[in-house]
Amino acid sequence: MNIPESNSNNHIKGRIQHIHTHDVISEVVLDTAAGIITSVITTSALKSLGLVVGQEAIAVVKTTQFALATA
């Protein structure tokens, strides 16, 4: 997968472990070396990208801040 505008600091490779499909949104669970990442995307985007369980994919981080709470 080629993401020219990205660098190694904002994307994480992994393999799709599970997909929860709903009418409008879907959850894609990606198993990476950094741990499990769950992405919520539109079901339309899921179909357009042709994502399937077992496929290699890349999680692209598009935010500069994270919210934290006490454990």
Q: Does position 2 have pLDDT exceeding 70, yes or no?
A: no
Confidence of residue 60 (pLDDT cuts 50, 70, 90): confident
What would the pLDDT profile of 23-56 be if each residue is shown by its tens digit? Answer: 999 999 999 999 999 999 999 999 999 999 999 9
Report d(CA 38, CA 16) in Å as an integer: 10
CATH assignment, 11-60: 2.40.50.100
Contacts of 38 (CB under 8 A, 6+ apart): 27, 28, 29, 30
Taking the domains of the chain in order of start, what are their residue ranges?
11-60
**Confidence band (pLDDT; 50, 70, 90) for 7?**
low
Sheet of strand 35-42, all strands in order from the earlier edge strand to the far edge: 35-42, 25-32, 11-21, 56-60
- The yes-or-no verdict on residue 4 having pLDDT over 60 is no
pLDDT-based confidence at 5, cuts 50/70/90?
low
Residues whose CB falls within 8 Å of the CB of residue 25, separated by 6 or more in sequence, listed in order? 40, 41, 42, 43
